[in-house]
Structure 1
Amino acid sequence: MKNMLPVLLLLLCCLNLFAEGEAPQLALPAPPRPGELPACPVQITNAGVLQLGRIYDRSRQEIRVQFRHAGEGAILFRVARSTCPCITVLEAPLNLNLFPGDTFSLRLQLDATTLAPGPFTRHVIIDFSNCESLRFAVHGDCVQPLRVSPGLEMELGSFEGVDVMWKRHFELTTTALAGTTLSFVEPAASERFEFELKPLPHGRQQLEIRPRLPLPLGEFHERVNVGVNGLENYSDLQLMLHGHVRGRALVVKNPLLEFTQAELATGAVQQRELAIIRVAAEGAQGRGRRRLMPAKRRSGEHLVVVDEQRVGTKVIFTKLAEELSVQPATDITVEMLAEEHQLLLRLSFSPAFWQQKPLPTALQLRRGNELLGELELLVK
């Protein structure tokens, strides 16, 4: 009993304290184990700004998020980063010591250009030096205020691009929210193309594309920017044209013109015929043709070669006959006949031509300043 007396006295003291209204001490949370960081004490005080609702694709939206240190002890702000390139941290503290009750903010910018239509969630992470990182999400629904047909990219294929005029079209249909009126800015002409916006029924617009013939040779991937008015912080509509201009290969079929001394001695007009034919340019078809675009982009092809084939070679040769000349042309008469598969040339040499000193050994076939070929004159 003597040994129990101290225990009873201690118990009576505790009961007396509780009777006077003092609450017992609550157990403190267990400290973090070695190697672990304590939980982040920072809270977002305006979480509503992270719910963006409906936003337009290709738009940019700024978000300012407010934070408060709601725990105990000082922490050091290190860096804020996003898990998606669509969110940029425009403004953030730099090596900021935060004490209980301190506040700070982040200024973020969301670029919806890379977002697919539909609901989205993107995350931002804040790293601290002496506590766990804070991770929060930005939510919204990306909507398209306009629809482009046949799509944002058009494959024109491999074509000559010399003198056959053609047109291609993009159709722009407004699908913006009620009360929003959109208008478009016509693109300026480029080295290769001219553009024209034309109104269509029901508020639609048509962007017409025409080539500036003849086109520069080679592969092209041309970006066409269409300005959009009526939406705040909305970037230009960007369309793409892909293709390869191979030019036109014209070949003189029989470039050697032979004459005999006996023929020239008669003093009669001498006639010779030759033909210019159109051949496929190197790499235009067959095994050597280079595939310009991935298969997924070729599904919407609007191949220009179809227009060139529809025109027909006779029309092309007729136009060539209007532009073709033989040089030097002294004492030579040239007749041209455009046929379906060739341009036939009949050259008549007068007796005076053969009296030139020195006698020309070659003639040039030219279309403007372009040399198409040379004709060799041979007298046996």
Structure 2
Amino acid sequence: MGGRSKRPSGGRMLRIIAAVLVLCLWAFKFPILFDESIDRAKDSPATHSSSGNNWDFLTLPQTPLAANQNLIQIEFDWINARLLGPDSYGGTDKCSLCGCPGVPTPRDCPQWYTVEDIQDSVHFMDDHSDVLIPHSRALLNKRRLEAEGDCQVKEVTQARGGWCLTPNPKGEKMTTANGSFLVPFHHVPPAKRLVDEIDKLIRDEDVRSIVDFGAGVGQYKLALTERHPDLQYYAYDGAGNAVNYTNDYLEYFDLTIPLGLPKADWVLSLEVGEHVPSKYEGMVLRNLHRHNCKGIILSWGVLGQGGYGHVNNHSNDYIIKVIEQLGYVLDQKLTARFQQAKDNYWWFKKSTMAFRRTTEVC
């Protein structure tokens, strides 16, 4: 007896169509890499909100392994696109829009993102860490190679806020387990006030680990690990030649992409955020938020504060408001200790703050 061939059911047909579409997107080089897709962010802050934006329609089907990984990466890129501001706020070559030294009436740059956007990015990465952390590492490696190439050509200020380190003949000599080098131009030795207060925090609260985002050449890593040899200290900097300059004493990073680095009890970030263009501010805060379990020690250049490569200064009130909305509280006592005048730099007296999570994680 002859028989009719079976046709796929409606549900199965939809899954087949979804898989074919994914393969087509991949074949035509759909921009799943973060830097190829999120730079299409719209020029209006409203389009970056977690509700009412142009990307809320994206609901991904559950598909077999390889295709599903591609879809996860695509959705992650779209989530992170909401953290970006317009391209007109994305440069470091000139700064006349807001938050900059030299502007007649410095003001805070607009907030292009919401705290919900930051939370979405963090939670999505943690939920799909097996796919997205390798994805993030691949992108970070790509950025590292680009930054290293920039610094081999000439001294430059890089497009997203980093620059190339140049030895300062008058700089203090640092001697680490990886060798000796001079503190370069535009960097200074660690402030004794901050070292002493972080030292006290480590001892009083049994702090086991610190992530240093924007570590320079590892000044605070050296000072703190000399006092606490067992402290897990992860030091990262965005200078394209930082790894070579310090003989691998620290690692390269880029705060303008969604990082998936090891988490620590506290994140330390001193005078870093103001160097990153306003377009990427949401991603900077996303990375500070994702990588700490207990809190953030932060110094962000205040409005009108001069300095090399300052393009996105902020008032303390602005920073406090955003970070507290993420689930932190300003530690008034610790902040006051960090801002004491003795053995301190003048800029730290104005802006160094300590934020504790209302609920510890990790």
Say yes or no: TM over 0.5. Answer: no
**Highest CA radius of gyration, 1 or 2?**
1
More helix, by proportion: 2
- Return the structure number with greater relative CO, CA threshold 8 A, min gap 6: 2
TM-score with structure 2 setting the length: 0.23
More strand, by proportion: 1
TM-score with structure 1 setting the length: 0.22
